[in-house]
Amino acid sequence: MTTAGFIIRNALRNKRRAALTVLSVAISCGLLVTLLTLQRELTIPPESEAASLRVIVRNKVSLAQPLPAKQLAALDRIPGIVAVSPFSFFGGNFREETVTSFAQFAVDPARFAGLIVEGKIVDGSYENFINDRNSCLTGADTMKRYGLKVGDRMRFTGTFYPVDLDLKIAAVFEGTVDDRGVFFHHKLLDELLGDPGTVGTWYIRVASAEVANDVIARVNKAFENTAAEVRAETERAFQMSFISMLGNVKLLIGSISSVVVFTLLLVTVSTMSMAIRERFRELAILKSLGYRREELFSFILAESFGLATLGATVGIGAAWAFWTFTDLQQLTRGFLLYFEVTPRIVAAGAFVAVVLAIVAAVAPSIAVARMSVVQGLKTLD
């Protein structure tokens, strides 16, 4: 017999309790990892170098308020802007779907080419997209997801606008942070809506990151005291403003995570305390045989550590496998594009489990250390 074997036998002596403890730690760790990943995905939007050069201009009143199309001429004159295009979110449901599982935007194709510089055309031709008013530029992820090819038609039922779209795929792009979107001619949207003379937002590329703040200030100033004052902001700030609409997500998820960890701690401490209390007499016997306090503490710690580690491995491993091998776009109806359980998050989950194991072992160890052999022997006498 080895000391390790003795510890394992002790840990597994009540198999049902050990299994339930491992399961509770596993579920809690899995949940914690999921929450941390969700927090990361929601609060840290994907970034690219090109994104830092892009500015989005929206109505100062609200994102839902359109902007006059005639603002384009004024924007073209602002120094530091190298490309600008209307950028109107269509929000249609593809085919028979009942939710918008990927975004569609109406753009000016000729101007838009100067905006998504990090993307590349992998199938079809951008020229065809420019030349055909009823065509669209589709992201590679969406093509793959729906098994589409160039020349296929994409039909959308409008949800924001009272019109439907029937588009022919002219080209496929990839290489952007979100290769799901579909872009089509703003002129087509104008035509379908009876030429209202409005756009949802303006999408701008600035000459360099250094001038971005100046450009933002100039754009905001250019439309001050007009019927449609604007709010210009970087693409990242714009994405963050979407997140802020969800409330203080970071605080909310952080609070839920804390509750999960605290509950996990209570469960584990309670289990370990119960397991050790049942064995007070045996621990007293071990003391009488010559085992020191620190040796008994190491037994308890090893047992607690073993159960917590096993639970954490199962929980974190299951969460990683689930989020890695699940079709997240399908599962979340396109709400989440990425849900990456990063090594940092795995490490955070494992760290919590280790701390948990130590904390759970401390209380029973103190009780055992304080217990005299005589007291322990009387426990069941």
CB 255 within 8 A of CB 77: no
Q: How far is the CB of 5 from another protein (least distance, A)?
A: 8
| Residue 13 touches another protein, criterion: CB under 8 A | yes
Query: In the stretch 161-180, what mask flags binding to another protein with x, by CB under 8 A?
Result: --------------------
Sort strands 104-107 and 81-89 into parallel, antiparallel or unpaired: antiparallel
Q: Which is nearer to another protein, 2 or 98 (CB)?
A: 2
Given 70, 120, 292, 344, the residue binding another protein (CB under 8 A): 292
| Alpha-carbon gap, residue 23 to 351, rounded angstroms | 18
Helix axes 249-277, 343-370, angle to 10 degrees: 30
Q: How far is the CB of 12 from another protein (least distance, A)?
A: 8
| Residue 287 touches another protein, criterion: CB under 8 A | yes
Which range in 5-13, 15-23, 131-139, 145-153 contacts another protein by CB under 8 A? 5-13
Encoded amino acid at 268, one letter: T
Q: How far is the CB of 285 from another protein (least distance, A)?
A: 5
Pick the closest to residue 187 from 159, 167, 158, 160 (CA basis).
Answer: 167
Q: How far is the CB of 18 from another protein (least distance, A)?
A: 12
| Residue 10 touches another protein, criterion: CB under 8 A | yes
Which range in 4-12, 72-80, 206-214, 228-236 contacts another protein by CB under 8 A? 4-12
Query: In the stretch 46-85, what mask flags binding to another protein with x, by CB under 8 A?
Result: ----------------------------------------
| Residue 372 touches another protein, criterion: CB under 8 A | yes
Which range in 192-200, 239-247, 285-293, 331-339 contacts another protein by CB under 8 A? 285-293
CB 73 within 8 A of CB 223: no
| Residue 9 touches another protein, criterion: CB under 8 A | yes
| Alpha-carbon gap, residue 140 to 172, rounded angstroms | 6
| Residue 285 touches another protein, criterion: CB under 8 A | yes
| Residue 281 touches another protein, criterion: CB under 8 A | yes
| Residue 377 touches another protein, criterion: CB under 8 A | yes
* Residue the block writes with tokens 């596993």: 26
Pick the closest to residue 117 from 106, 105, 126 (CA basis).
Answer: 126
Given 49, 162, 289, 370, the residue binding another protein (CB under 8 A): 289
Q: How far is the CB of 299 from another protein (least distance, A)?
A: 11
Q: How far is the CB of 376 from another protein (least distance, A)?
A: 9
Which range in 34-42, 48-56, 113-121, 283-291 contacts another protein by CB under 8 A? 283-291
Given 1, 73, 227, 245, the residue binding another protein (CB under 8 A): 1
| Alpha-carbon gap, residue 189 to 165, rounded angstroms | 8
Given 265, 293, 297, 336, the residue binding another protein (CB under 8 A): 293
C-alpha count within 13 angstroms, C-beta hemisphere, residue 369? 13
Given 89, 146, 291, 322, the residue binding another protein (CB under 8 A): 291
The residue count for binding another protein (CB under 8 A) is 25
Q: Which is nearer to another protein, 118 or 282 (CB)?
A: 282
| Residue 381 touches another protein, criterion: CB under 8 A | yes
Q: How far is the CB of 13 from another protein (least distance, A)?
A: 5
The residues of the shown chain that bind another protein, judged by CB under 8 A, are 1-3, 6, 9-10, 13, 281-282, 285-293, 295, 372-374, 377, 380-381
